[in-house]
Chain A
Amino acid sequence: MELLEVRNLKTYFKTQKGMVKAVDDVSCSLSYGKVLGLVGESGCGKTTTALSIANLLPPEGRIVGGEVLLEGEDLMGLSAGKLRKKRWKEVSIVFQGAMNALNPVMKVGLQIAEVLMLHDKLTYEQAMIRTKELFKLVEIDEERVNQYPHEFSGGMKQRAMIAMALACNPKIIIGDEPTTALDVMVQAQILNLLEKLKNEINMGLILITHDLSVLGEICDDVAVMYAGKIVEKGKVEDIFENHQHPYTYKLMNAFPNIYGERKLSDSIPGNPPNLLEPPSGCRFHPRCEFADERCKTKEPMLAEVGHRHFAACHYGGVFK
Chain B
Amino acid sequence: MSQVMEVKDLKVYFDIKRGFIDDMLSKEKLQVKAVDGIDLTIGKGEIFSLVGESGSGKTTIGKTILDLIPATQGDIVFLGDSLKHKSKAEKKKFRQKAQMIFQDPYQSLNPKDIILDIVAEPLQVNGLIKNEKEKMQKVVNALEMAGLTPAEDFLYRYPHELSGGQRQRVAIAGAIVLDPEFIVADEPVSMLDVSIRIGILNLMMALRDRKGISYLFITHDLSLAWVISDRIAILYLGKIMEMGRADTIIHECLHPYSQSLISVMPVPAVNKEKERIILHGETPDPIHLPEGCRFHPRCPKVFEKCCREEPELTEVAPGHFAACHRIGERGRSLDEQERYKDNK
A residues at B contact (CB < 8 Å): 41-42, 153-156, 183-189, 192, 210-214, 216-218, 236-237, 240-241, 250-252, 254-259, 262-268, 271-272
Contact = CB atoms under 8 A, between A and B. Distances in A.
A258 B267 contact: yes
Contact of A184 (B165, B196, B264, B269): B264
12 contacts: A185-B53, A185-B261, A186-B282, A189-B278, A192-B278, A212-B194, A213-B223, A255-B223, A258-B226, A258-B262, A259-B269, A262-B246
A264 B267 contact: no
B264 A265 contact: no
B54 A183 contact: yes
A48 to B, nearest CB: 17
Contact of A188 (B199, B220, B278): B278
A189 B266 CA distance: 12
Contacts of B220: 183-184
B249 to A, nearest CB: 10
B250 interface: yes
B194 A255 contact: yes
Contacts of A271: 163, 165, 196
A257 B266 contact: no
Nearest to A43: B193
B269 A216 contact: yes
A155 B282 contact: yes
B107 interface: no
A185 B227 contact: no
A264 B228 CA distance: 8
B272 interface: yes
Given A188-B264, A254-B195, A267-B199, 9 more contacts: A41-B195, A187-B264, A187-B266, A217-B272, A236-B270, A254-B198, A263-B227, A267-B196, A272-B195
A97 to B, nearest CB: 13
A185 B264 contact: yes
A30 to B, nearest CB: 18
Contact of A257 (B195, B199, B261, B269): B269
A272 B226 CA distance: 27
Contacts of A42: 193
